[in-house]
Structure 1
């Protein structure tokens, strides 16, 4: 498969050449300002869906392999050595992550993926601030799991505003500013009706 990659700036062009070096013998790049391009003969297809699934880093595979083969115990089972070993490994990983980002190990929560993480974050923050703060502002194009969490919170009595976005998918900051100016009357604490 021979194709073209459109790049919109020289910086992006240089970055694309760097990224695709392992995929293409040469890359054909179309730059908006008309600068030079090179022909492309991909060695293998290019994969751009890394958000959904990505190649495993070999270092991660090396670190995890023992837990798939010989240390496969349930870390929540505290009645046997397999569980103890796995629990200790998870706690060590938790401390490593915390140290890397300057957090306390008690703040690190491992989840099964983005959906579980988003649900935990949205609902957790909302319930933490409830009942003092019951208003959530999001956009109409958030991931389904975020929108679903907001709908559940609406059923629980939260007020959720779904801000529209522009045709390019970017939030119009004027809409956000208008929302705050019209909806919240900071000087007297009154809330006005809102429509979007």
Structure 2
């Protein structure tokens, strides 16, 4: 099963500038990024919006499942996708399959909300089945309101958008990245 953000649209690389969101009640997902981009991205997770998805993400992070997972799909002016704990780990022999895997946890039913996909919003990647999100997520470089109500929102970047903006972009037809940046360490701050 393919776990990709399924979109067939033309995108522009017009930069969109916005302030980072304010820190809410959390928990916060702390992502140390290494590669072309170096630094830390902090995401305020939204358990009041998507409790099951936030629980799964925090569980995987606490288990170390996200450590050394690459940003396998990055589309300039749109989003950066990561979180394939099955195939997306640095050194995995099946790295070419990054973006098609998940975790040993069950897929989750969609938790759609009225939260809009603005710059810095984090959503869950899935296949064509709305109830197939598992471990992969994406962070928006620019607003993508066409995603509203179709993908589960799980958080907002509260610091590190400058780091996200430096993540190596994909050159492949679907944003595939050669020599991708990596989430070297992912932790949870309650």
- Fold equivalence (TM over 0.5): no
* Greater helix proportion: 1
Q: Which of the pair has more CA radius of gyration?
A: 1
Q: TM-score, normalised by structure 1?
A: 0.20
